[in-house]
């Protein structure tokens, strides 16, 4: 694009702040996919602060904070949350991981964590490990229970008041299904009530059983507007005590923990272990089972996920994870199954490489860096 003098003008990029960066991260790993015990999302930072550089790491160790300061990053995405449980103090120096968060806050660096949200997300840590195995088609080992995000609200309204009450509920946010608005279902019927002497019923008299022609009005609303919809309904309803019910609706499963899929062809346990060691850059890989046994169905869970071990059942099943505890290894042997432990860090790190390209596409103008100081805490001897 040229100005009136003919000089080429650079196209200005929209400035990115922490809030926008968080939205991009949540698009790649929706927070509702995280396990209920986890602590994901923005852990520290000013949502209005500008972001020009973002650093990705598995663990927010002191060396990574030094690196973030050195490269002048305004945001760090630490896969493992450095704040996991409620904390009573943030001080530094201290051995606790919260000290690293204190340093980031002091340096104006926002801290975000994806953890189990990225594990469950499409293209996340487990899918990355599956691709290293050569597996393209996988299914979650266990779907994430995201809890109710939508509710069905049912209210009983005098027939003549139906449109007014429904309109108030729609105006408050109810009745949206996809691109359709003002959605409801209505069933005529007869309602009964007996008002005590202290009541002033809109229809009929106190102290007498009344029969009223009513409409059962049903509609849906998102969790965020449920209170507003109920308030609007009660305000427009003519009864002293409107009768209504709220039903939580389960959302369609969209992701889950772990992955299961079949290798393109059977291979030996040792061959697969060596392939993954090279692909993941793992320093020390352990196997459970006979090195020359044939495996084909892979049950994958990065980090220290025990679900693949529980799900393994066939002789050609191989569990691929970060760590396998002693007694879990014995369980696999008793089942006649195999296992590969890449180390906790090495099983999760490959996903960060894929995140760099995805974030560059979602956040033009932001330089996304993969930490060089983030490393495997164990050393070979």
Q: In the chain, what are the domains? A: 18-114+351-370 (3.40.1390.30), 125-144+256-342 (3.40.1390.30), 150-249 (3.30.70.120)
Q: What is the pLDDT averaged over residues 41-70?
A: 97
Q: Greater confidence, 331 or 147?
A: 331
> Which pLDDT score, from 0 to 100, does residue 32 have?
85
> Which pLDDT score, from 0 to 100, does residue 7 have?
41
Percent of the chain surpassing pLDDT 90: 77
- Give the chain's mean pLDDT: 91
Is 60 exceeded by the pLDDT of residue 1? no
Q: What is the pLDDT averaged over residues 207-223?
A: 92
> Which pLDDT score, from 0 to 100, does residue 247 have?
94
Residue 267 phi/psi, 5° resolution?
Answer: -140, 165
Q: Contact at 8 Å (CB) between 153 and 254?
A: no
User: Which segment of 52-61, 186-195, 202-211 scores lowest on mean pLDDT?
Assistant: 202-211
> Which pLDDT score, from 0 to 100, does residue 358 have?
96
d(CA 79, CA 305) in angstroms, rounded, equals 15
Beta strand spans in 208-327 (E): 209-222, 244-249, 256-257, 259-268, 286-288, 294-301, 317-321
Q: What is the pLDDT averaged over residues 271-276?
A: 98
Q: Contact at 8 Å (CB) between 70 and 103?
A: no
Q: Greater confidence, 187 or 97?
A: 187
Residue 179 makes CB contacts below 8 A (sequence gap 6+) with none
pLDDT tens-digit map of 171-201 = 999 999 888 999 999 999 999 989 898 888 8
Is 50 exceeded by the pLDDT of residue 129? yes
pLDDT band at 145 (very low <50, low <70, confident <90, very high): low
Q: What is the pLDDT averaged over residues 321-330?
A: 97
pLDDT band at 374 (very low <50, low <70, confident <90, very high): very high
pLDDT band at 202 (very low <50, low <70, confident <90, very high): confident
Query: Which helix H or strand E contains 241, and what residues bound it?
Result: none
> Which pLDDT score, from 0 to 100, does residue 9 have?
39
Q: What is the pLDDT averaged over residues 122-144?
A: 92
Is 80 exceeded by the pLDDT of residue 250? no
> Which pLDDT score, from 0 to 100, does residue 146 have?
58
Quick one: tokens of 77? Answer: 């995405």
pLDDT band at 249 (very low <50, low <70, confident <90, very high): confident
d(CA 163, CA 186) in angstroms, rounded, equals 11
Q: What is the pLDDT averaged over residues 19-43?
A: 94
SS3 369: strand
The CA R_g of the chain, rounded to the nearest whole Å, is 28
User: Which segment of 8-22, 27-41, 244-258 scores lowest on mean pLDDT?
Assistant: 8-22
d(CA 353, CA 129) in angstroms, rounded, equals 12
The structure's pTM equals 0.74
């Amino acid at each position: 694009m040229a100005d009136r003098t003919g000089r080429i003008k650079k196209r200005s990029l929209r400035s990115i702040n922490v809030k926008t960066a968080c939205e991009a991260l949540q698009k790649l790993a929706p927070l509702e996919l995280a396990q209920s015990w986890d602590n994901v999302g923005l852990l520290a930072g000013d949502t209005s602060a500008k972001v020009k550089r973002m650093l990705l790491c598995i663990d927010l160790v002191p060396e990574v904070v030094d690196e973030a300061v050195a490269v002048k990053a305004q945001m760090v995405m630490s896969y493992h949350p450095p704040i996991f449980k409620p904390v009573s103090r943030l001080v530094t120096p201290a051995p606790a991981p919260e000290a690293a968060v204190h340093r980031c806050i002091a340096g104006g660096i926002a801290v975000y964590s994806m953890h189990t949200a990225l594990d469950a997300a499409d293209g996340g840590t487990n899918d990355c490990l599956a691709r290293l195995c050569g597996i393209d088609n996988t299914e979650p080992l266990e779907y994430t229970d995201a809890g109710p995000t939508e509710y069905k609200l049912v209210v009983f309204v005098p027939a003549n008041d139906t449109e007014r009450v429904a309109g108030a509920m729609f105006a408050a946010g109810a009745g949206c299904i996809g691109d359709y608005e003002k959605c409801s279902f209505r069933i005529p019927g007869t309602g009964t009530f007996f008002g005590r002497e202290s009541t002033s019923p809109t229809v009929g008299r106190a102290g007498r059983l009344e029969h009223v022609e009513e409409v059962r009005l049903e509609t849906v609303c998102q969790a965020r507007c449920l209170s507003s919809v109920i308030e609007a309904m009660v305000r427009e309803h003519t009864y002293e005590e409107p009768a209504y019910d709220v039903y939580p609706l389960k959302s369609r499963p969209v992701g889950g923990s772990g992955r299961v899929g079949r290798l393109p062809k059977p291979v030996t346990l040792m061959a697969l272990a060596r392939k993954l060691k090279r692909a993941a850059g793992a320093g020390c890989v352990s196997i459970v089972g006979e090195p020359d046994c044939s495996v084909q169905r892979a049950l994958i869970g990065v980090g220290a996920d025990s679900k693949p071990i529980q799900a393994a059942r066939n002789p050609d099943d191989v569990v691929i994870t970060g760590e396998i505890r002693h007694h879990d290894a014995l369980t696999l042997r008793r089942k006649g199954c195999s296992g590969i432990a890449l180390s906790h860090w090495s099983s999760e790190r490959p996903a960060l490489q894929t995140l760099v390209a995805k974030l560059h596409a979602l956040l033009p103008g932001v330089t996304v860096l993969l930490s060089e100081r983030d490393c495997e805490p164990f050393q070979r001897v």
